[in-house]
């Protein structure tokens, strides 16, 4: 299954991480961070990113140990076939659900802000068609798609958000630990960030296809911190401009930030369109990663190599999940549920695997 | 050949034209004016969002009169031929409806129009003093919720009738509301108005420890507007108004550049009158706690130039120093009175409360916490403003 051309470089791995981490949640993330942590949101983001970083290191370490296996592969060789398959299956379920829910979140944001008359099903189907038709490609194609989109995501965000500097108020950001910090609230805010960016788990599917899987940490760490910096930058800017109370009122603070910005010289008057375009790229690459994990995961569990078939069969399930939540509040409830009970445990999971593999003296390549 | 149906399918799905509304199918709202409607006005009310007399209401006289300035591209001729003294009146259509809430009035308005109302081009939202005094939270909800409304448009208050602002038709620009909003945008560029547009107003409204304000305007000769000062709020209710020169003081306190206001100074023992103009403002707002009481001291540095000298001609280094001193004294007097007025009305437009919250966390958590408590403390608070005015140059004249 490993064709000679199927080789991913470290730079590509970094770009996969960046474009996976920056996704649907970009627009609304600050709302959840602020709701927990108040004006300590930038600091909470930093803490959240550190927590996620630990998880990243876990996947890199286990990837070093099992250089030829994907997540599904080492699950089985470490935990034994039945339990390993069950674990892989649970992970796939989590990502399957998240793909559907985040597609819905994308459609909600589109409908709520730019295309009020387009039926939501159309946005959902269009997005599903896009990632379903690209997700069964080879790993190097998958990496190239990410590689292509990253500049289109990063550059507009920075250009659009930077002019907001003149509208910031220092008093929106201090005290750095928040006015009335509670430990629980702060950690809730931090974990909101961890949940939103913890989706880099997909690298567990990519590392075995790298040229030098042992050196994957270079790309992984680099990509992670670039994306982490962008998350902190966006959170800080939105908090500094809007302040705690205003952010709590909005669904998509970053989008509103884009709506407030006028570029000096008034060349363009509605910058939010640029932001939305780059956000749509971000959404696509993120969902592509999720779905890629689902398709590869299913195929790995059932020893089945027709990715195309799996991808097309699973698409209607995603659609079903996407239209399931009855309104936007339930949607966010589900998302929070799956990301706190799905994504966060996944960050601890590799360490658990590592321990067992050391105890059972399992090493890579022993498939 | 097998792929052709697929390609057609993709064309159908990805074209993204569902929300297409051609420009000429849209009624572009350019300006909105919100007044209180009288019983008499309400008699015209159609039953659009509710049956007549069955609005699930609150108080009796809570009626809104919404005036909208609409441009219909392709239907009303735009363009330069409007010249020749005819004014821009015929380029836009001013419509008036009534309703119980903003959305109610908008629904009534849509009911009478062939085109779909589009709020993406709203430049200016005028509210009458009466509405502002009743509180602005209710009217802002619709505007915040609607994704088309720009956060960079202006909300302003007209002293009497909000409607008359939209009826003002400047002879120079083809679209009246555009001229009005340009007046405000350029006032910002010239340092005559702080950047208090709609988005900023909402932020200040939501924040604890800062009260919002919005520009106050007045219609002149039915064809232009005068920036007449700022209206300041306490919570969401307007409580007072300050004059343009006090905008200058406000902007100095906030250290907002660029400087724009000129100020007339006369030396005590001389005849001459000097006009000095602030060019650059810088300020340090410091808050401290003394014996458990908050205090604020504001150090302002203003660089300025002399723009005019009348009734005398003896400008030299010496006089310039004296003028600086005199200007500092004058500014202090003006500023102190301004701050005192604001304190009496309990309106903290400087955001001193927010700064104290940001800096003295424990004090805030123990003593203040709410906006109401802050207003009380603010009224009693000691605010010291010091001015340092430097005259840098005197234009092209030596003396």
The residue of chain B nearest to residue A240, with distances taken between CA atoms, is: B203
Q: Is A161 helix (H, G, I), strand (E, B) or coil?
A: helix
Min Cα–Cα distance to chain A from B12, Å: 10
Residue closest to A52 by CA, chosen among A27, A28, A17, A23: A17
B193-239: pLDDT as tens digits? 888 889 899 999 998 889 999 999 888 888 788 888 899 998 889 99
A163 touches chain B (CB under 8 A): no
Backbone phi, psi, residue B285, to 5°? -100, 115
Best interface-test mutation with A: which of B9, B188, B206 has the largest number of A CBs within 10 A?
B206
Domains of chain B: residue spans and CATH: 23-242 (no CATH), 245-393 (3.30.300.210)
B119 touches chain A (CB under 8 A): no
Residue A210, token pair as written in the block: 């790298």
The residue of chain B nearest to residue A260, with distances taken between CA atoms, is: B151
Q: What is the ipTM of this complex?
A: 0.85
- From chain A, the residues in CB contact with B208 under 8 A are 245
**Using the 8-state DSSP alphabet, how is residue B61 labeled?**
T
Cβ–Cβ gap A167/B144 under 8 Å: no
Q: How far apart are CA A56 and CA A97, in angstroms?
A: 22
Helix axes A41-65, A344-359, angle to 10 degrees: 30
Cβ–Cβ gap B200/A167 under 8 Å: yes
Residue B203 has its nearest CB partner, among A118, A243, A259, at A243
A113 touches chain B (CB under 8 A): yes
Helices (H) and strands (E) in chain B, counts: 13, 13
B359 touches chain A (CB under 8 A): yes
Q: Which long-range contacts (CB under 8 A, 24 or more apart) does A298-303 make?
A: A298/A92, A300/A70, A300/A71, A300/A72, A300/A73, A300/A88, A301/A72, A301/A85, A301/A88, A301/A89, A301/A92
Tens-level pLDDT at each residue, chain A (367 residues): 444 456 888 898 999 999 999 888 888 889 999 998 888 899 999 999 999 999 999 999 888 888 888 888 888 888 888 888 899 999 999 999 999 999 999 998 888 877 788 888 888 988 898 888 888 888 888 888 999 999 998 888 888 888 888 888 888 887 887 777 788 888 889 988 998 888 888 888 888 888 888 888 888 999 999 999 999 999 999 999 998 889 998 888 988 888 887 766 666 667 778 888 888 899 999 999 999 999 988 888 888 888 888 888 889 999 999 999 999 899 989 988 888 888 888 888 888 888 888 888 777 654 3
Sign of CA dihedral B369, B372, B375, B376: negative
Cβ–Cβ gap B13/A125 under 8 Å: yes
Domains of chain A: residue spans and CATH: 29-354 (1.20.1740.10)
Residue A122 has its nearest CB partner, among B18, B199, B359, at B18
Q: Is B267 helix (H, G, I), strand (E, B) or coil?
A: coil
Q: Is B193 helix (H, G, I), strand (E, B) or coil?
A: coil
Q: How many CB pairs under 8 A join A and B?
A: 77
């Amino acid at each position: 299954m490993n064709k000679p051309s199927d080789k991913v470089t470290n730079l590509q791995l970094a770009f996969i991480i960046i474009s996976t981490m920056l996704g649907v949640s970009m627009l609304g993330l600050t709302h959840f961070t602020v709701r927990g942590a108040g004006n300590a949101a930038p600091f909470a983001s930093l803490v959240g990113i550190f927590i996620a970083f630990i998880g990243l290191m876990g996947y890199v370490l286990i990837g070093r140990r099992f250089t030829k296996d994907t997540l599904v592969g080492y699950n089985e060789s470490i935990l034994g076939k039945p339990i390993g398959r069950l674990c892989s299956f649970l992970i796939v379920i989590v990502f399957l659900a998240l793909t559907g829910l985040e597609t819905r979140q994308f459609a909600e944001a589109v409908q709520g802000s730019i295309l009020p008359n387009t039926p939501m099903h159309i946005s959902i189907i269009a997005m599903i068609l896009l990632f379903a038709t690209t997700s069964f490609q080879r790993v190097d194609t998958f990496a190239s798609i990410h590689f292509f989109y990253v500049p289109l995501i990063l550059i507009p965000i920075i250009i659009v958000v930077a002019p907001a500097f003149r509208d910031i108020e220092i008093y929106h950001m201090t005290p750095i630990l928040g006015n009335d910090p509670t430990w629980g609230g702060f950690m809730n805010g931090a974990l909101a960030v961890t949940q939103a960016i913890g989706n880099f788990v997909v690298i567990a599917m990519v590392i075995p296809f790298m040229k030098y899987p042992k050196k994957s940490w270079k790309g992984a760490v680099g990509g992670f911190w670039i994306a982490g910096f962008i998350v902190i930058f966006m959170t800080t800017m939105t908090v500094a401009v809007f302040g705690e109370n205003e952010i709590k009122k909005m669904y998509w603070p970053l989008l509103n930030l884009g709506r407030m910005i006028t570029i000096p010289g008034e060349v363009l008057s509605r910058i939010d369109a640029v932001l939305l375009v780059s956000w749509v790229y971000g959404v696509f690459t993120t969902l592509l990663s999720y779905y890629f994990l689902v398709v590869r995961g299913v195929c790995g569990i059932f020893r089945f190599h027709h990715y195309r078939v799996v991808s097309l069969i699973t698409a209607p399930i995603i659609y079903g999940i996407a239209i399931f939540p009855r309104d936007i509040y339930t949607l966010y409830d589900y998302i929070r549920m799956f990301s706190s009970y799905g994504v966060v445990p996944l960050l601890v999971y590799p360490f658990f695997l590592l321990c067992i593999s050391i105890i059972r003296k399992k090493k890579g390549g022993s498939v | 050949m097998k792929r052709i149906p697929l390609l057609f399918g993709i064309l159908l799905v990805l074209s993204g034209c569902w929300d297409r509304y051609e420009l000429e199918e849209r009624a572009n709202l350019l300006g909105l004016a919100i007044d209180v409607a009288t019983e008499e006005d309400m008699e015209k009310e159609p039953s659009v969002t509710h049956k007549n007399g069955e609005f699930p209401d609150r108080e009796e006289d809570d009626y809104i009169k919404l005036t909208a300035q609409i441009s219909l591209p392709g239907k009303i001729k735009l363009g330069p031929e409007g010249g020749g003294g005819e004014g821009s009146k015929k380029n836009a259509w001013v419509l008036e409806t009534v309703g119980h809430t903003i959305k109610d009035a908008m629904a009534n308005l849509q009911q009478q129009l062939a085109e779909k109302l589009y709020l993406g081009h709203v430049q200016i939202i005028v509210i009458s003093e009466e509405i502002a005094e009743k509180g602005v939270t209710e009217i802002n909800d619709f505007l915040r919720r609607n994704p088309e409304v720009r956060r960079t448009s202006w909300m302003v208050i007209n002293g009497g009738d909000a409607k008359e602002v939209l009826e003002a038709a400047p002879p120079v620009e083809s679209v009246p509301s555009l001229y009005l909003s340009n007046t405000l945008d350029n006032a910002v560029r010239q340092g005559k108005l702080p950047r208090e547009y709609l988005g900023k107003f909402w932020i200040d409204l939501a924040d604890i420890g800062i009260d919002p304000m919005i520009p106050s305007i007045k219609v002149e000769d039915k064809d232009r507007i005068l920036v007449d000062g700022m209206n300041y709020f306490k919570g969401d209710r307007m409580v007072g108004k300050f004059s343009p020169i006090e905008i200058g003081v406000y902007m100095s306190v906030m250290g907002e550049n660029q400087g724009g206001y000129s100020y007339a100074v006369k030396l005590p023992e001389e005849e001459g009158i000097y006009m000095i103009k602030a060019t650059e403002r810088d300020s340090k707002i410091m808050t401290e706690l003394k014996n458990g009481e908050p205090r604020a001291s504001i150090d302002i540095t203003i660089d300025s130039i002399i723009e005019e000298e009348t009734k005398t001609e003896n400008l030299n280094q010496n006089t310039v120093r004296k003028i600086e001193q005199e200007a500092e004294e004058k500014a202090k007097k003006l500023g102190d009175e301004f701050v005192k007025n604001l304190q009496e009305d309990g309106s903290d437009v400087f955001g001193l409360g927010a700064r104290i919250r940001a800096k003295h966390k424990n004090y805030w958590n123990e003593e203040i916490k709410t906006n109401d408590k802050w207003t009380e403390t603010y009224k009693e608070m000691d605010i010291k403003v010091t001015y340092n005015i430097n005259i840098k140059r005197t234009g092209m004249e030596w003396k």
